[in-house]
Structure 1
Amino acid sequence: MKKIFTVLLLAVFMLAQFSIASAVAVTGDASITAIPDFSSGTDVDLDWAATGMAAGTKNILVWGREYAAVPVAYDWNDCQLIATIIGTSDASGTFTYDFTTTANLAALSNGDQVEFTLSVDDQTCATADVPAIDSVMGVNYVDTLDPQYYQGNPPSDTGVAPELDIAACNTFEYWALGLDGGPLLPGIAYSGFGTWNPQVTGTFAPPAPLGPDTSLLSWTFNFPATASGVWTATVWPEDMAGNQGAAAEYFRNAVAVDPAELEDCADFTDVAGHADETYIRYLADLGLISGFADGSFGPDNTLTRAEASTLIEISNGYDDTMLPTSAPAGCEFTDVSASDWFAGWVWQACDDGLMNGVGGGLFDPNNLLTRGQVATILNNIFPAYVADPAAFGGFIVTGQPNAILALYPGPIYGYRQAAWTDVSVGAYYAIPVQKAYGWGIAEGTSDTTFSPDQAATRGEFAKMLYRALSVLH
């Protein structure tokens, strides 16, 4: 009996030795040569290389695990076969590591970090040697959220869906504003907008976004005189992790070219090549702004408060036959007389709640309009008309949401935020300025200044008015 037991024990020992020997990693050094900082949580591309491998058949294996303050051992259920190499001592390539087929990495969330290492073995994942617990060759952060964005079609009063609308003339701006990382808590890694391809940094702290938090698209279209048939235009924003929406978004969807779209927009003698040319000419074509008797527009000239009241109420559908002939209650200004050319426009803008006086019973009609006042006027449009917007016409309400009506209500400041050094908390224009910038209607004068007390130029006003009247999609 003792002899039989000894034979059995020897047999078990020999089997164990064979099993151990068969799982010993073969000679060879493998490394991850490149890995994106961020992935969408579905998969990630790893560039790899292996050198000095022994003769025969060997497997390149990639092991993944979620980062933990106290590292956990690699699990063969999260191992994937990169390549089987026969005879060659050196090899390299790109492998797409699929998170969705792993046992422990199939439900990653935003900000999660995944660690990777490689091994060379004559076995496959289920029987290969598990890498040492401190082995990490590359890391990747997870960003699963699609970028948020909205589109601004050119101002229109047709009331049709934005993707079916036509332009008023041959040159117009389609614009859009996108945000990445907005819903995430501070400290959560996200990829940001951009098209860069960075390398591994080696840090285990959440990296700064690779692209900017937000992205403003300004896309100018010029219909050639020979344009015909149907035109389609789409956007499909993508973040640095490769996240996109379910499908491309149309802002023009198989719409036949209209004769009006082949006609030149209204022109002036002094706007060619100006930064605000597209906005000026387009709004002029709609009859919302006008130039001077000599054929110029004066895009760099300043604007008075009286002129601003006129332009905003023209956008609201008024003409001089519809204006009040005396001051409505609450709009009696001592510096506005019935004989003034602007009296009816000022009274109407005041009565509609779009423009207020400056205090002391004054409207200050001939003083220059400031950038902060422009933002305030645009912000006033929503609270003025929220009760019954259908009662107002023109370009303020077109049957489709526009930026100032759809996005300005409440304390929602928009997709972009800025710490302006010259916008004081509590200033009457503080919130309107934040909203105008946040929703893409206005830009700063620098990265840190908005210059709210600086006189607005006629060109700046045209751009802000164009954006504010754009039909959103």
Structure 2
Amino acid sequence: MSKKIFTVLLLAVFMLAQFSIASAVAVTGDATITAIPDFSSGANVDIDWAVTGMAAGTKNVLVWAREYAAIPVNYVAADCQLIATIIGTSDASGTFTYDFTLATLALVTGDQVEFTLSVDDQTCATADVPAIDSVMGVNYVDASAPFHIQGNPPSTAVAIPSLDTAACNTFEYWALGRDASVFVTTEAYSGFGAWNPQVTGTFAPPAPMGPASSLLSWTFAFPATATGAWSASVASEDMAGNVNPVDYFRNAVAVVPAELEDCATFSDIAGHEDEVYVRYLATLGLISGFADGTFGPDNTLTRAEASALIEISNGYDDTMLPTVAPAGCDFTDVAASDWFSGWVWQACDDGLMNGVGGGLFDPNNLLTRGQVVTILNNVATSYFANPVPFGGYIATNNVLLNTFFFGAYPTGYGLRQAAWTDVSVGAFYATPVQKAYGWGVAEGTSDTTFSPDQAATRGEFAKMLYRALSRFN
């Protein structure tokens, strides 16, 4: 049997079957498939069926299956199975488990199968083969659990993420899952089902956000009385019921004193959607607020400020910066007396930020969302090409940015995809936008827009930086 090509038309047919309203159009013999409620495991699938208006005499209800092909192929007797033998003119219905192991179909995860019913006075071996266009319901094989990554808070610890502790009492665990082939996006799968989050320990953390989508954001705030060993884990599951083994964010690690200390805070951050990221990064010394005690999470930031933030994450302080412009980084709008000159020159020399053309860096212009993800992509590609110049949190093992470069998940952009209406193919930020979204580092401003030319806020930058520096499994 040839493999199928996943078309929009077939998807529409499949969705009807998925939600238990499969085709009710009668075929020869007045037989119908009323539902295919369970996704196939590769061995069998349950089919609800009904027959009406049967002629007198012994009748066999038969189910036929074939693997979907772009050009339909004939049903064959070897792929037919007997549902029931009925004598008389009574109507009948029921559920039949179609066993793929009894058929000639050689199925693997991602394959799609079409079904139809017929009523005949013959069994499968001699019955009339249904018409080639008589498909009534579609199912597909999904015997593989979802693929997912897990993000732990940024850390420079040598310990593996599941044995690491947090820097202060409030942090985010996050995960991004995909129920589909990691490499072939045209294959059909059942869809992401649940994260099944679990915690064990001497205190109860808040319930997780989700798992309505494949992105899990799980925020914890340790109480001051927390003690003893504590674990947090997920077991991602798809709509077919395939479940991954338990995967730990934290595996029976004792709560340490640092985790009972409040994260750094600011007078204007409480309750803000980006609060956890701002406070955690501030605790690590990767971002800072203003002299009046505020952070300004909704304020914009400049390109010069971004150069400082990314190089601080790279392990630099102001005593380590160049005092003159390196070759290729001598911008006419960056003077040695500017507070940001060393940061700009270092970011340029490391290949993390470029000029805007005409010998300019444009340090005081607002940083856009498209530029943020481009910087992160530059970090990833530069690190992959030559990790030696990198340090700090960027050079830490298991940091997401170190894998951000790879182009194998699933089409070079990560574990999820979006069709952005405001990101043109030729834009400098086109690939970085897709990769940042695909790896869970950045979200869109709507289901169809990324707003790449919109000025990024300080809070947005903090969230993207937290996610990009997360240690992951």
Q: Distance in 1 between matches of 2:285 and 2:266?
A: 14
Asked if the contact 1:170–1:264 (Cα under 8 Å) also holds between the matched residues in 2, the reply is yes
Instruction: Tell me the residue number matched to 1:168.
Output: 167
Residue by residue, what CA displacement relative to the aligned partner does 1:37-90 show, whole Å, maximum 9, x if unpaired? 632213334567999xxxxxxxx99856435742333778x55899xxxxxx99
**Counterpart position of 1:104:** 104
Aligned to 1:465: 465
- Give structure 2 stretches of 5+ with no counterpart: 1-29, 53-59, 195-210
**2:249 matches 1:215:** no
- Measured in 2, the distance between the counterparts of 1:79 and 1:254 equals 53
CA radius of gyration, larger in: 1
Shift of 1:361: 2.1
How far is the alpha carbon of 1:383 from its aligned partner? 3.1
Structure 2 residue corresponding to 1:372, chosen from 356, 370, 373: 370
CA contact (8 A) 2:107 2:141 kept: no
Partners of 1:50 and 1:111 in 2: CA distance:
28
SS at match of 1:453: coil
User: Retained in 2: the 8 A contact 1:74–1:130?
Assistant: no
Task: Tell whether 2:400 aligns with 1:403.
Answer: yes
2:307 corresponds to: 309
Deviates more, 1:179-188 or 1:378-387: 179-188
> Scaled by the length of structure 1, what TM-score is found?
0.75
TM-score w.r.t. the length of structure 2 is: 0.75
Shift of 1:34: 4.2
Which residue number corresponds to residue 456 of structure 2? 456
Deviation at 1:191, TM superposition (A): 1.8
Change (3 A) 1:34 1:417: closer
- In structure 2, relative to structure 1, the CA distance for the partners of 1:44 and 1:451 (3 Å cut) is same
Q: How has the CA–CA distance of structure 1 residues 213 and 185 changed in structure 2, closer, same or farther, with 3 Å as cutoff? A: farther
For the 8 Å contact 2:61–2:84, the answer to whether it is kept is yes
* Shift of residue 107, structure 1, vs aligned partner: 4.2
2:262 is matched with which residue: 237, 261, 264?
Answer: 264
Amino acid at match of 1:228: T
Q: Quick one: structure 1 residues 365 and 191, their matched pair in 2 at CA, closer, same or farther if it must change by over 3 Å?
A: same
Which residue type is aligned with residue 468 of structure 1? A
Specify the code of the residue in structure 2 equivalent to 1:311.
L
Secondary structure at the counterpart of residue 312 of structure 2: helix
Letter matched to residue 291 of structure 2: A
| Residue 231 of structure 1, CA deviation | 1.8
Q: Secondary structure at the match of 2:45?
A: strand
CA distance in 1, matches of 2:340, 2:48: 69
Change (3 A) 1:74 1:363: closer
Alpha-carbon contact 2:83-2:96 (below 8 Å) kept: no
> Which of these residues, 343, 352, 356, is aligned with residue 345 of structure 1?
343
Identity of aligned residues (%): 69
Give the SS at the match of 1:176: strand
Aligned with 2:278 (options 277, 280, 285): 280
Match of 1:362 in 2: 360
Specify the SS of the correspondent of 1:254.
strand
* Structure 2 residue aligned with 1:421: 421
Answer with 460-469 or 41-50: which moved more. 41-50
1:433 aligns with 2:426: no
Partner of residue 444, structure 1:
444
- RMSD of the alignment, in Å? 3.8
Native 8 Å contact 2:181 2:187 kept in 1 = no
Structure 1 residues 328-362: Cα deviation after superposition (integer angstroms, max 9, x where no partner): 22222222222222222122112211112222222
Q: Measure the CA separation in 2 of the matches of 1:343 and 1:362.
A: 13
Partner amino acid for 1:347? Answer: W
Give SS of 2:174's match.
Answer: strand
